[in-house]
Structures are given as C-alpha cells and as structure tokens.
C-alpha cells in the first residue's frame, strides 16, 4: 500500500528537539551523541579486564597454575557489561514521559473568559487571539495538599503535577527529574527505573573491577619475588584499572547514593532543588518501602504518544487538527526557548492585512521612523486667502511697487507638499 503524499508519520513532523531511529521506534534527545562517549567509558575498562582474563587463562594452561582472573570472572564481567549497556540504551532510547502538545489553548468556561485585563496573573495565549487570556497557574489537590500547576506557553497546556518543560528537548515531561547529558535524554516517569539501574550497575562494576584488580596484583606477587611493588610494575593494566575505577566511583557512586535518597523519599532532582521538600511536607511521600515499590514494582505507564501514527499536513505534530483562529503560529512560537523567525498562519491574520506591500514600512523602520513620530499632513492652502493677501500687499505698498512673487512660490511649494502627503 503506497503512502499518501500529504500524510507523514508523527515523528517526522515532531516539534520537539528529539532524534528518532528505526522509523520512530527509538527516541533520543538532541545530545544523543554523548551516548557514544558513555558507552566507551563503560566498555573500555571492562574490555581490558576481559583481555586480562583471557591472558591468564592461556598462561594457566601452560604453567598449571590457577589465577584469580579465570573463566568465571570472564563470564561474570561479560554479563555485567551487557546488563549495564542495556540499561543505558533503555534509558536513552525510550519516551521518558512526554506530554503531547495541544493544538489550541485550553478552552475556558464562561466564568473564566471574563477576566480582569489588568490582572498580572493572566496573560494572552498568543497574538492571534488577543482577547483570550488564561490564568498562569491553577491549584490542584494532591493527597490532601494544594499544588500549583503552571501553564506552558510552548505546549499550550497546564502541566500535570510533577511535570516540567525541558528546555533542551523542548517537551513537557511527566515526573521530570533532570536532563542527563551522559545518556542524552530526559529522565522522567517512564525511564527513571532504568536510569537508576544503570547508575547502580555502573557503581557495582567500579567496585567489582577495583577489587579484582587488587586481587590480581596480590596473587601474582609470588611470581615477582613476593614484592608488591614489583607485582604492580608487572601488572600495569591492573594498576590503570584501579586508578580509573577509584576516580569513577566518586561520580557514579555519589549519584547512586543521591538518587537512593530521592527514591526513598519520592522526590525528583528538580523538586529537591526547587521546592526543598526536606523543609516542608512532601505530598507524594508514602513511606520508604512504598516509594521504592512505586519505582520498581509498578506497571510501566504507557506512552502518551504514538510516534509512528499517520498525521495529515493540517494536523501537523500536535495530534489534532489545527489552522483555526486559536491554533499556534505556523512557525512554532516558543516563548520558553526564545526562538525567532515566527510567522502567523493564515487563520490568525485578518484578510484586510493579507497581501499588503510592507516594503515602504520596512524602509521607514530601517531609517528609524516610527508611526508615533509621524506628523499629520499640513492642511490644504486656501487660494482665496492667498490671492487676498497678495492684493493687500500691493495696496499697502502703493506706487509702482510690484507684488512680491515669493508668496506665489510659497503657495506652490505648499500645494505640491500637500498633494504628495495626500497620495501617501
């Protein structure tokens, strides 16, 4: 079945900054290139340890000596490596909980449409409908506590509780934790579980490689005359792995400890830094065990977006029809991202203003002339008054004095100037 020319997949017209692979099945952040660096930092030391295991296995076959780095360590290292990389890919390549954008602002009730135009808590939704204003925040009750939710100018919706707009991915994300540059993706409701497994597995691998490297040095000391220093000189790769894992564990280990605290108290990184729930009541805290069970033992929330669904050109990337007077601007107005070069859709511009030539206005604007600086054109001169004034001058002068021609020249200049202003 051939594709219709005016229909495309949702991921092909997606307004966020995400990158898609495999026909929209995998979604990444705009900085997904850092995923290769993270993979190299994880796989590098593990490949080195596996090479040591293979070397020791070959040497033990010849000298009939058992080494610490043998086949069991090789299998365990390979399994842990694949698990850690799988958690990294699951964190980076899945929808973190993106809230679909609205094609139109939320419809206000009759009591909400009539608002005080001078109230600072309300703002215009967009320039295409200057009469419509919505409250910037709304109060929502969560577990008996009142929580304020904000209106998102980019997504044209009130963000659900614990939802925030990521300025990097340009999406509203449910239970937004942070945007992680190491995985190139937002951490939210649908991938936080895999993110915690990724950093905790990385921390365990640091301790694992650190301990095995030290064991390898101490057990090989007999071959170097019982000297630990000579054993370290002979096992250079083990020394490098010890230093590498010792430095790395402070980063991933500290991150794991911090997120263990956040998970046990049912907080996100964004909430911890912004709201400081340790100093006030947290409406989402249900106890340490229940909070941990919520992360690991609850059913995964399905994605709110069908990135492979077909959309027509008039539906665009919102999942609904657009083009009405309240639809967003076709250039993608983004008040939070600060993008420029936006133009209005045909439905948002009055018909009387369409097709006009604005070249003269642009020239005057470039010259620094503004509408408010323009003066009203001079009134048309009265020819009878000019003629009478000339006769009066002749009569008062007497004798042979000829009438001053300068009056006639001034009148002509005035008439020419007035005609030019009238034509403008």
Among all residues, which ones are annotated catalytic? 180
Strand partners, 185: 180
Q: Where are the beta strands (DSSP E) in 244-371?
A: 310-312
Rounded to whole angstroms, the Cα distance separating 27 from 5 reads 24
* Euclidean distance between CA atoms 284 and 162, whole angstroms: 10
- Give the integer Cα–Cα distance in Å for 173 and 282: 20
Q: 141 — phi, psi (to 5°)?
A: -90, 120
d(CA 422, CA 377): 8
Max intra-chain CA distance, the chain: 143
Q: Which two tokens stand for residue 396?
A: 């008062």
| Neighbouring C-alpha atoms within 13 Å toward the C-beta of 170 | 17
CB contact set of 167 (below 8 Å; sequence gap of 6+): 336, 337
- Contact 326/105 with Cβ under 8 angstroms? yes
Which helix (H) or strand (E) element contains residue 138? strand 137-142
What letter would DSSP give residue 93? Answer: S
Separation between Cα atoms, residue 382 and residue 372, nearest integer Å: 28
Opening angle at CA 20, ends 19 and 21, nearest 5: 130
DSSP 235: -
Quick one: which of 84, 73, 92 has its CA closest to 44?
Answer: 84
User: Which run of H or E residues covers position 233?
Assistant: helix 228-234
Encoded tokens for 330: 């076709």
CA distances from 172 to 97, 192, 308, 329 (A): 8, 16, 20, 19
Distance separating alpha carbons of residues 239 and 141, to the nearest angstrom: 56
Q: Which of 194, 180, 181 is nearest to 83 (CA)?
A: 194
CB 172 within 8 A of CB 157: yes
């Amino acid at each position: 079945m051939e594709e219709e020319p005016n229909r495309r997949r949702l991921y092909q017209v997606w307004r966020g900054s995400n990158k898609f692979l495999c026909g929209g099945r995998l979604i990444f952040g705009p900085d997904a290139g850092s995923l290769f660096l993270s993979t190299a930092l994880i796989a590098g030391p593990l490949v080195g340890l596996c090479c040591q295991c293979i070397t020791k296995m070959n040497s033990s076959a010849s000298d009939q000596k058992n080494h610490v780095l043998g086949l069991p360590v090789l299998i365990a290292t390979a399994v842990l490596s694949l698990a850690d990389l799988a958690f990294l890919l699951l964190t980076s390549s899945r929808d973190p909980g993106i809230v679909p954008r609205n094609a139109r602002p939320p419809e206000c009730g009759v009591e909400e449409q009539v608002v005080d135009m001078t109230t600072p808590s309300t703002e215009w939704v967009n320039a295409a409908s200057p009469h419509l204003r919505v409250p910037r925040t709304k109060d929502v009750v969560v577990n008996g506590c009142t929580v304020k939710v904000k209106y998102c100018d980019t997504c044209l919706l009130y963000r659900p509780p614990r939802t925030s707009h990521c300025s990097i991915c340009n999406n509203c994300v449910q239970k937004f934790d942070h945007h992680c540059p190491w995985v190139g993706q937002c951490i939210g409701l649908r991938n936080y579980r895999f993110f915690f497994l990724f950093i905790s597995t990385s921390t365990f691998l640091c301790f694992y490689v650190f301990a095995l490297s030290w064991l390898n040095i101490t057990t090989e000391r007999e071959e170097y005359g019982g000297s630990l220093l000579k054993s370290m000189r002979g096992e250079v790769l083990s020394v490098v792995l010890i230093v590498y894992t010792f430095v790395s564990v402070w980063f991933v280990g500290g991150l794991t400890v911090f997120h263990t605290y956040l998970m046990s108290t049912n907080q996100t990184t964004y909430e911890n830094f912004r709201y400081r729930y340790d100093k006030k009541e947290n409406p989402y805290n249900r106890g340490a065990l229940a909070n941990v069970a919520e992360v690991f033992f609850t059913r995964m929330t399905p994605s709110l977006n069908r990135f492979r669904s077909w959309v027509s050109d008039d539906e665009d990337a919102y999942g609904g029809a657009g083009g009405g007077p309240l639809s967003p601007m076709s250039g993608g107005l983004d008040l939070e991202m600060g993008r420029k070069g936006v133009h209005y859709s045909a439905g948002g511009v009055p018909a009387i203003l369409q097709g006009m030539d604005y070249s003269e206005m642009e020239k005057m604007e470039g010259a620094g002339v503004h509408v408010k600086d323009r003066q009203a054109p001079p009134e048309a001169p009265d020819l009878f008054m000019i003629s009478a004034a000339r006769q009066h001058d002749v009569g008062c002068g007497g004798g042979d004095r000829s009438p001053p021609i300068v009056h006639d020249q001034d009148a002509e200049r005035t008439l020419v100037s007035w005609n030019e202003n009238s034509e403008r």
